[in-house]
């Protein structure tokens, strides 16, 4: 019986699940929008919202706790400096899930999870810029 056990297992071990949520949270924080399956998005939402609420306190202990959860210092820095300031007046509900149909290969329901009032220019900032790498190769 699974009485009082909240959260979906997503067919993964607990360590795999926590690593997956850390990676997904990092991508969401850096890009401010990611595409994933609906069950993963629904499980990621409280994980990220708790991090944003903690980041609004902005102390050293909170910074260390956030880094221990998402394992990325750049994402933790953006969360504390940019997103916490953006949502300082908001009491909760920092993310939204927008359903986007079904995936072609396995017909899994797909959704976008994004921050409310997100920065449109932040999307794709984790990937290297093509122009910069092409310029560096031509200079060498």
**What would the pLDDT profile of 84-131 be if each residue is shown by its tens digit?**
999 999 999 999 999 999 999 999 999 999 999 888 887 776 644 444
What is the pTM (predicted TM-score) of this model? 0.84
Taking the domains of the chain in order of start, what are their residue ranges? 14-139
Separation of first and last alpha carbons in the chain: 64
d(CA 107, CA 91): 36
Percent of the chain with pLDDT over 90: 78
d(CA 35, CA 135): 30
d(CA 75, CA 97): 21
Structure tokens of 73?
A: 């210092």
| Topology (CATH) of 14-139 | 50s Ribosomal Protein L17; Chain: A, (3.90.1030)
């Amino acid at each position: 019986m699974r009485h009082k056990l909240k959260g979906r297992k997503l067919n993964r071990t607990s360590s795999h699940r926590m690593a997956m949520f850390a990676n997904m949270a990092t991508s969401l924080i850096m890009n401010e929008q990611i595409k994933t399956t609906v069950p993963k998005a629904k499980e990621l939402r409280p994980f990220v919202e708790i991090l944003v609420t903690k980041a609004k306190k902005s102390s050293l202990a909170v910074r260390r706790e956030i880094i221990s959860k998402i394992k990325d210092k750049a994402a933790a820095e953006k969360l504390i400096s940019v997103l916490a300031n953006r949502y300082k007046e908001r009491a909760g509900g920092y993310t939204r899930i927008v359903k986007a149909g079904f995936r072609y290969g396995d017909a899994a329901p797909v959704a976008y999870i994004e921050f409310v009032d997100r920065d449109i220019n932040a999307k794709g900032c984790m990937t290297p810029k093509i122009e910069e790498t092409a310029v560096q190769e031509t200079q060498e």
